[in-house]
């Protein structure tokens, strides 16, 4: 069969090669742990633009990642999750195994690209304002709530981070990349797990530290990652930033400043030029009145939630 057991239009390796101009570097839009993502044009579907994820089957874990992503996304319908169009499991022109996922294309790229843009002539400076960041935070929370509490069997994403949050043309956030996702077992204990801990990889800085100590996979791991994501969104600092070390991590960095000095550590890009004087006034008054941040609850609430979520389990 050309596709995994999914009720979608079947596509072959030859069709995907054609739709990406033979997987041209010009159409390459991303590279991940298990493969590369290309922009493609589906001629059989009204010239629809899609994202085609090609698995590198030479990479250990890529094949199981493909199966995990197919299983996790099959039957999922939620506005904040990337939709799978079809999945190809076939052979290439040389007779080698070939696996790919065809996903909906997100016009505005990843949250990573917006938080930490690489500025050059071809890529203009990007910036997310406060309202957009709050909206994205809500979108991601909605996706996690659906995965954890509104599926027949809860799904743990296991790799939540900015590069796996994609933004459509309306800047609505969609959680993507379910290659490390795990299904929780159907038991009375919502935190019991049917998958082996050996398979947990995740990304340094975002994965719950407790996983490294042998803790079971649980929805709490995603909550931790979400907390780190929030703190990064509002400070502009990655959890792996060079200023952090064994005695200072992103959580402690924010905790130390909260609440009276919170305005000193927020992402400077959050403050537009016309808002600088207002924000500076709030910063001074917040210090004077020991955390009475007046109109800054849109900043203090998300950062407080981020701290609570990213506490050690």
Known binding-site residue numbers for ATP: 53
pLDDT in tens, 123-176: 566 889 999 999 999 999 999 999 999 999 999 999 999 999 999 999 999 999
pLDDT, residue 283, reads: 60
Beta strands in 64-187 (DSSP E): 84-91, 97-104, 155-156, 165-167, 173-175, 182-183
pLDDT, residue 78, reads: 96
pLDDT, residue 277, reads: 58
The CATH 3.30.200.20 domain(s) of the chain lie at 13-104
pLDDT in tens, 239-248: 999 999 989 9
pLDDT, residue 202, reads: 82
Contact predicate 90/98, CB 8 Å: yes
| pTM of the complete model beyond 0.85 | yes
Looking at domain 13-104, its CATH architecture is: 2-Layer Sandwich (3.30)
Characterize 125-148 residue by residue with b for buried, 16 or more Cβ atoms within 10 angstroms of its Cβ, and e for exposed: eeebebeebbbbbebbbbbbebbb
pLDDT, residue 75, reads: 77
Average pLDDT, the chain: 86
What Rg value do the Cα atoms of the chain yield, rounded? 21
3-state helix, strand, coil in the chain (%, to 5): 40, 15, 45
Q: Cα separations (Å) of 62 from 74, 112, 275?
A: 18, 23, 47
Q: Which two tokens stand for residue 251?
A: 């959580």
What stretch of H or E contains 258? none
Can you list the residues of the chain whose pLDDT is less than 50?
A: 1-6, 188-199, 274, 290-295
pLDDT, residue 121, reads: 52
- For domain 111-234, the question of CATH label 1.10.510.10 is answered with yes
Catalytic residue among 97, 139, 145, 159: 159
The CATH 1.10.510.10 domain(s) of the chain lie at 111-234
Say whether 263 sits in a helix, a strand or coil.
Answer: helix
Phi, psi at residue 62, to the nearest 5°? -65, -45
Catalytic residue status for 159: yes
Known binding-site residue numbers: 53
pLDDT, residue 34, reads: 92
Beta strands in the chain (DSSP E): 28-31, 35-42, 48-55, 84-91, 97-104, 155-156, 165-167, 173-175, 182-183
Contact predicate 232/240, CB 8 Å: no
């Amino acid at each position: 069969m050309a596709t995994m057991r999914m009720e979608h239009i079947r596509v072959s390796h030859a069709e995907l090669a054609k739709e990406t101009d033979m997987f041209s570097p010009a159409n390459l839009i991303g590279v991940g742990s298990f493969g590369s993502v290309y922009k493609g044009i589906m001629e059989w579907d009204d010239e629809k633009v899609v994202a085609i994820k090609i698995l590198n089957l030479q990479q250990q874990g890529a094949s199981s990642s493909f199966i995990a992503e197919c299983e996790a996304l099959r039957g999922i319908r939620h506005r904040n999750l990337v939709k799978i169009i079809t999945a190809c499991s076939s052979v290439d022109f040389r007779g080698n195994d070939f696996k790919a996922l065809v996903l909906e294309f997100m016009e505005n790229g990843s949250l990573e690209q917006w938080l930490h843009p690489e500025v050059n002539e071809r890529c203009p400076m990007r910036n997310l304002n406060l309202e957009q960041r709050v909206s994205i935070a809500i979108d991601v929370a909605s996706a996690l709530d659906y995965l954890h509490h509104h599926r027949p069997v809860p799904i743990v994403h296991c790799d939540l981070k900015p590069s796996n949050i994609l933004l459509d043309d309306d800047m609505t956030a969609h959680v993507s990349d379910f290659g490390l996702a795990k299904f929780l077992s159907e038991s009375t204990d919502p935190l019991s797990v049917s998958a082996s801990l050996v398979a947990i990889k995740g990304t340094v800085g975002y994965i719950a530290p407790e996983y490294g100590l042998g803790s079971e996979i649980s929805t709490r791991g995603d909550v931790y990652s979400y907390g780190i994501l929030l703190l990064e969104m509002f400070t502009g600092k990655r959890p792996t930033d060079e200023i952090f070390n064994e005695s200072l991590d992103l959580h402690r960095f924010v905790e130390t400043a909260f609440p009276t000095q919170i305005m000193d550590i927020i992402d400077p890009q959050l403050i537009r030029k016309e808002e600088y004087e207002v924000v500076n006034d709030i910063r001074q008054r917040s210090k004077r009145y020991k955390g009475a941040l007046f109109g800054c609850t849109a900043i203090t609430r998300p950062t407080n939630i981020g701290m609570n979520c990213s506490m050690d389990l």
